[in-house]
Amino acid sequence: MIRAFLKKVGILPNSAVQSGRGPRIIPRSEHGISRKNISENALKVLYRLNQHGYEAFLVGGGVRDLLLGLHPKDFDVVTNAKPEEIRRVFRNCRLIGRRFRLAHVYFGHDIIEVATFRGKTDDCAEVVHSAQGMILRDNVYGTLAEDVWRRDFTINAIYYNIADFSLVDYVGGFADLKAKRMKMIGEVEQRYREDPVRMLRAIRFACKVNFSLSKELTEPMTKLKDLIGHVSSSRLFEEVLKMFHSGAARAVYDHLIDYDLFGQLFPASYQSLQQTTYPMDALLKIVFHNTDMRIQQQKPVTPAFIVAALLWYPICIRAQHFLDEGLPLFPARMQAIEEVVQEQIRRVSIPKRIIQGAREIWLLQMRLNKRYGKRAHLLMAEPRFRAAFDFLELRAQAGEGREIDALTQWWQAYIAGDATKRRALVKALSAVRR
Ligand code: ATP
Ligand code: MG
């Protein structure tokens, strides 16, 4: 009866009830995770904690991705050592975080994140909630058996035990992975309310590992989407960046649109999707597709380029508005950039250096049609010219219009041409001008 009650209030998920709450232990011989595929530094941390008498496990994306045959982007370690104790074990360690206190162990540029098991939080003064039910702070420590219920999805809650290389699975995550199933631990709506970022995480993981999202996970999104507005803008930036870099940005974009979350992150971009003057949807689809391709080919991706695409049409629309009000062209554009940027960073705090990169691309878009005399030659020498030209090509590809097609073709010919050809191209412009 107690189990039935706990399940009903969302404390116990179905799988735990079915499995009788004890964990399923999957021995090394029955799973494919090999230490060869775990980062050397993560292994060092795990072994060292173990040698000091602490329990140490890998959990989260590292375990999930290894079981799926993917390359994990990082390895999260969890232990029963408290943050202060972790610091005593590692000299190269810093404690970070307020909302969740964590240890970062440094190996040059590589950082291994080490968390302490979280404990039960019912009626606990250490856990601070907001008026909307969001968890603002939570530093109650516990055991593995308690920690597991605090994780988001079953596929993220499989623990790899460094003591015997077995997997510990309380929530049926191993079976869910095999069945390509995303399942929330606990009651979906309550878990989204505690942390609205879980809605975005649901989408990101489903797209990254190519699982479909169940109705159970997507249905509450429409009702709860406004809660995203209560999440700190810096946390949203971190999540947005992970989405862009997931290798599945194109699919993530479709999902954000389908479940009406895109506007929560990019309100002005969402608004420009509703009008027909500019091909906003086409531009974003191309940019996200190209980003995924670059990640696949292990080429670097520039967030500034994506931000440039997200805000370019909102800026064009805003600039037109100022022009209609009688502002001259240059101030109209500058004011449009400043306003759109300010509004955007209130929601998702995109760092200054990324905004600066995007700004350079926008400013060059505005100069690319001024090609007379020495201007084309000077433009090509600008450090951001290549990015700006690539962006122009995307605008043409997205179908912005014939003028942009012609401009793109002109620049393609100019870039490919020798000095004579370039002079001829500029001369032909002057002829048209006359
Ligand atoms: P990736 O690192 O590939 O983005 P991940 O699953 O490792 O994916 P992290 O943000 O690194 O994600 O978190 C590590 C683990 O911590 C998760 O797998 C999950 O178990 C838990 N976790 C992280 N964020 C949350 C959250 N908002 N709510 C509940 N559990 C979380
Ligand atoms: Mg991780």
Which CATH topology does 266-433 take? cca-adding enzyme, domain 2 (1.10.3090)
Q: Which two tokens stand for residue 240?
A: 């947005």
Domain boundaries for CATH 3.30.460.10 within the chain = 2-185
- Residue 126 scores a pLDDT above 80: no
Q: Is it true that domain 2-185 has CATH number 3.40.50.300? A: no
Ligand 1 atom 17, closest CA: 60
Distance (angstroms) between ligand 1 centre and the Cα of 242 equals: 11
pLDDT given for residue 11 in this prediction: 41
Residues touching ligand 1 (Cβ under 6 Å) are: 59-61, 73-74, 76, 151-152, 156-157, 195, 197-198, 242
Catalogue the active-site residues. 74, 76, 152
Residue 340: what residue type? Answer: V
Integer Cα distance of 39 and 234 in angstroms:
28
Could you give the CA distance from residue 136 to residue 151 in angstroms, rounded to a whole number?
Answer: 16
**CATH 1.10.3090.10 in the chain, residues?**
266-433
Q: What is the pLDDT of residues 377-388, one digit of tens each?
A: 999 999 999 999
CA angle at residue 272 from 359 to 304, to 5 degrees?
A: 25
Give Cα 364 to chain centroid, integer Å.
Answer: 28
CATH number of 187-265: 1.10.110
Q: How confident is the model at residue 131 (pLDDT cuts 50, 70, 90)?
A: confident
**pLDDT at site 2:** 52
The three-state secondary structure class of 220 is helix
Burial of 330 (0-12, 13-18, 19+ CB in 10 A): exposed
**Residue found under tokens 């219920």:** 149
Distance CA 303, CA 301 (A): 6
Three-point CA angle 219, 221, 223, nearest 5°: 95
Would you place residue 373 in the very low, low, confident or very high pLDDT band (cuts 50, 70, 90)?
confident
Ligand 2 centroid to residue 75 C-alpha, Å: 6
Tokens of 69: 């045959």
In angstroms, rounded to a whole number, what is the distance separating the alpha carbons of residues 265 and 271? 12
Kindly compute the dihedral angle of the four CA atoms of residues 400, 402, 404, 409, in this order, to the nearest 10 degrees. Answer: 130
The CATH 1.10.110 portion of the chain extends over 187-265
DSSP E strand stretches across 354-393: none
The rounded distance, in Å, linking the Cα atoms of 156 and 177 is 9
Residue of the CA atom closest to atom 18 of ligand 1: 60
pLDDT computed for residue 122 by the predictor: 64
The two structure tokens encoding residue 282? 């086409």
pLDDT band, very low/low/confident/very high, at 156 (cuts 50, 70, 90): very high
